[in-house]
Amino acid sequence: MDRKEHWERVYATRLVEKLGWYKPSLDIPLAWIETLQLDKGAPIIDIGGGASTLIDDLVDEGYEALTVLDLSVNALEASKKRLGRQSELVMWLSADVTRYPLPEKHFELWHDRAAFHFLVEPVARQAYLDNLMRALKPCGQVIFGVFAPEAPPKCSGLPVVRYDHEHLAAFMGDEFELVKWQKELHVTPGGVEQMYLYCLFHRLG
């Protein structure tokens, strides 16, 4: 079973609110986005944000150029249903971020919580970074939420790569400045503790 099949099955057979990574509100990314003071028309993409509530909050805040990319059609449909008519304000892409040709120098903010850390193969991580570099504007911002070293080695039955802020900064390379980082203990609906690491990067002009 490939990654897409895995996630389609997960979202087809389980309630979103019962999934391990579910959080009613992504407080840290939302607070950081507010400090960036982006124009409401700034293009923002949420990678792996299929059933995440981040997009709901960004719509409510008045952001007008929102894109959600996720492997799972079922995950995207769950968010569309939750948002109702507001879903028409969002561009929904069912695609693999390591392969899908995103528009060049388009996005001012790239957000990814709990998608990147599933890329365990170096070639997949490099393809991800190549797409990010192509799609993010100069001086753009990147917010990652990934498993920290203290987190379990697997999530949803799949292996993950765990990061500290230095490891993630090294991966991003010299074109990015690590602005800040913060850890957050996430407790799954099933009671499992998962330590997340959030990092905010600024792309140098």
Local confidence band at 4 (pLDDT 50, 70, 90 cut-offs): confident
User: Distance of CA 127 to CAs 26, 89, 110, 119, 200, Å?
Assistant: 26, 29, 15, 10, 20
Look up residue 65 and give its DSSP letter.
-
Which residues contact residue 10 at a Cβ distance below 8 angstroms, ignoring those fewer than 6 apart?
19, 72, 156
pLDDT in tens, 95-146: 999 999 999 999 999 999 999 999 999 999 999 999 999 999 999 999 999 9
Single out the residue of 45, 51, 47 nearest to residue 24, CA to CA.
Answer: 51
Q: Which CATH class is domain 3-203?
A: alpha beta
- Domain residue extents for the chain: 3-203
Which pair of tokens denotes residue 96? 């693999």
pLDDT in tens, 156-195: 888 999 999 999 999 999 999 999 999 999 988 788 899 9
User: Distance of CA 191 to CAs 1, 69, 115, Å?
Assistant: 27, 28, 21
The predicted model scores a pTM of: 0.94
* Sign of the torsion angle spanned by Cα atoms 151, 24, 199, 99: positive
